Structures are given as structure tokens and as C-alpha cells.
Amino acid sequence: MELLDGKVLSETIKAELAAEVDKIKQAGGKIPHLAAVLVGEDPASQVYVKSKIRSCEQIGFKSTLVQRPAETTEAELLEIVQQLNDDPDVDGFIVQLPLPKHINEEKVTLAIDYRKDVDGFHPVNFGRMAQGMPAFLPATPFGIMEMLRRYNIETSGKHCVVLGRSNIVGTPMSLLLSRKGYPGDCTVTLTHSRTKDLPAEVRRADIVVAAIGIPQFVKADWVKDGAVVIDVGINRIPDATRKSGSRLVGDVDFDGVAPKCSHITPVPGGVGLMTVTALLMNTLKACRKEIYS
Ligand code: GUN
């Protein structure tokens, strides 16, 4: 069993991005600038956004954090989005989800200029991705594709089972893996809460992508020997042996599943770090106008 190490890989890619920033500086070009909008006090969102900002600093990108209280109105948030759309120095920005209940996430996503949508959540980017056109790919699926590529995981003709049909992970992941080319050319099964006999579906998989948000859900006897397992889950569970009283686990029962796999991502230290790295890669693409002129 080989670990798909998101920590090592994300550091490698970040070093490459930092070298690109140096080249841009030497040539007197524009430094990539990512902005992040965080509304409310969701603790997980705060951790994720801080990690995005810290990663920008680490590689020499410019970053801006726009932080607002949970009482922020939808109109106020739409105004912030408009300002970021109009700011020529901001190459790309994200609005961290989930938003407080009184704000319509769909409306906010639609308000983001798709040319600055480095999260790849806007329907223009999603539609272009689905048709195989150049687009900002959603960060988590993009990070996973990059991980498969850099670890030379064979995908052509493989059967991939995706657990979870969310707009930001499961659905785009299923589209990307079924696309022509590498990584891709998989036969994909997209499973969800209404799937009959989920363990039987997962047993057929050469590649499993677990993105359902249920701690340690995928069990050892569901996984075929030699499978590649990508665990997207980040769940906090109680653990009395830890000083904090809790620890992070994925959607896969790692200790049971890992010995059966050819490759598996750990949690933490797997997909999560690749998500942040993919966002940085998208920001560089935005700055270079690689997708939209
Ligand atoms: N919430 C969970 N994942 C993400 C992400 O990739 N981007 C944003 N904006 N919000 C999220």
C-alpha cells in the first residue's frame, strides 16, 4: 500500500508556484492576487480560509481576506462580490461556503464574475468543464486529478465509484473521471443516499472517491483488493485520548481499508491540502488569463 501524500505533493506544487511568482517578479509582471470572503463564524470555514490565505503568503501571491459577521445581509454580500468583480487587481476570489441560512448561495455564486471564479462553482465554468472546454475546475476535484496525475495512477478503462453527488465534489469528479484523456477515461458510477446496495457498488470499484461527509463510512469489506481509495471527508469525531478531545477522520475507515489498497489518501494530509493547492493553481491561471482573455 502506498500513501497518496497530499502534504508532500502540495509542498512540491507550491514550490513550483513560488518559482513562477519569482519569474513574474523578475519580469516586472503582475503578482497573482486571490481574495477570500468569509461570512459568519463557522469554525471549519475559518480554518479553511486561513489556510488559503496562509498558502498565498507562503508562495508570494497577494491575498485579501474580507471577513464579515453572520448578520451580514445578502445585499451587503452581493455588494462585496460586485466590488471584487470590479477590482482590476483581484485576479480571482472565492466566497467560502456554507453561507448563513438567510443568504441564497445560488444567487451569490451567480453574481461572481465567472472569469474570476477560481472555485469553479459558477454554472459557466461548470458547463464548460462538462463539455471539456477550458474552465476553472472546482478546487477539490482539480486537486484530486492532479494527485492522480502526479502519482501516475492508471485510470483508463478503470471502474470508478464516486460516493456523493454534491455540486462541488461528487458530480464534477464523476464528469472529470469519465472525460477523454488522462487522468480520465474511467467508467464511472455515481452513488448517493438512494443507491441500493452501496457496498456491492463499491466492491466493483478500481478507484473509490468517498465524498459523503459521514465519518469512517466506507468499510474494509466494501473495498476490492488493490483498489485506489481517495478520501475527501474531513470529519471531527470525539477522541478522549487527545488533548483537544477530538480528532479528524475521513469518510473511509482508514485502518481497516488501507491494508487492502494499492493507494490511499490519509486524513488529514491528503485531499484537503490538494484543494488549497488547486485553488492557487487556478489563481495563477486567472492572473495569466489562461482560460479567459
Ligand atoms: N466549502 C467547502 N469547500 C469549499 C470550497 O472549495 N470553496 C468554497 N468557497 N467553499 C467551500
Summarised one tens digit per residue, pLDDT across range 161-183 is: 999 999 999 999 999 999 999 99
Peptide bond into 268 cis (omega under 30): yes
28-74 pLDDT, tens digit per residue, is 999 999 999 999 999 999 999 999 999 999 999 999 999 999 999 99
Q: Ligand 1, residues 117, 168, 271: which to mutate, most atoms within 8 A of Cβ?
A: 168
Pocket of ligand 1 (CB under 6 A): 94-97, 119, 139-140, 168, 275
Give the Å distances, CA to CA, from 170 to 102, 130, 142, 165, 193.
Answer: 26, 13, 12, 4, 12
Q: Which atom from ligand 1 is nearest to the alpha carbon of 36?
A: 9
| CA–CA dist 94, 186 (Å, integer) | 30
Q: Ligand 1, residues 53, 97, 99, 235: which to mutate, most atoms within 8 A of Cβ?
A: 97
- The predicted structure's pLDDT at residue 280: 98
**Going by CA atoms, what residue is nearest to atom 11 of ligand 1?**
97
Locate 204 and state its grid cell.
466493483
Q: Which atom from ligand 1 is nearest to the alpha carbon of 95?
A: 9
Cα(first)–Cα(last) distance of the chain, in Å?
44
- The predicted structure's pLDDT at residue 179: 96
Give the Å distances, CA to CA, from 160 to 32, 39, 79, 156, 230.
Answer: 35, 36, 41, 10, 11
68-126 pLDDT, tens digit per residue, is 999 999 999 999 999 999 999 999 999 999 999 999 999 999 999 999 999 999 999 99
128-167 pLDDT, tens digit per residue, is 999 999 999 999 999 999 999 999 999 999 999 999 999 9
The fold of 28-113 is Rossmann fold (3.40.50)
- The predicted structure's pLDDT at residue 209: 98
| CA–CA dist 146, 290 (Å, integer) | 18
pTM: 0.97
Q: Where in the chain is the domain with CATH 3.40.50.10860?
A: 28-113
Q: Which atom from ligand 1 is nearest to the alpha carbon of 98?
A: 1
Q: How many residues does the chain have?
A: 293
- The predicted structure's pLDDT at residue 248: 96
- The predicted structure's pLDDT at residue 263: 98
Answer yes or no: CATH 3.40.50.720 is held by domain 139-272: yes
| 98 CA from centroid of ligand 1 (Å) | 8
205-233 pLDDT, tens digit per residue, is 999 999 999 999 999 999 999 999 999 99
**Going by CA atoms, what residue is nearest to atom 8 of ligand 1?**
96
- The predicted structure's pLDDT at residue 274: 98
| 46 CA from centroid of ligand 1 (Å) | 11
Q: What is the mean pLDDT of residues 179-198?
A: 98
Q: Active-site residues: which are they?
A: 52, 96, 119
- The predicted structure's pLDDT at residue 147: 98
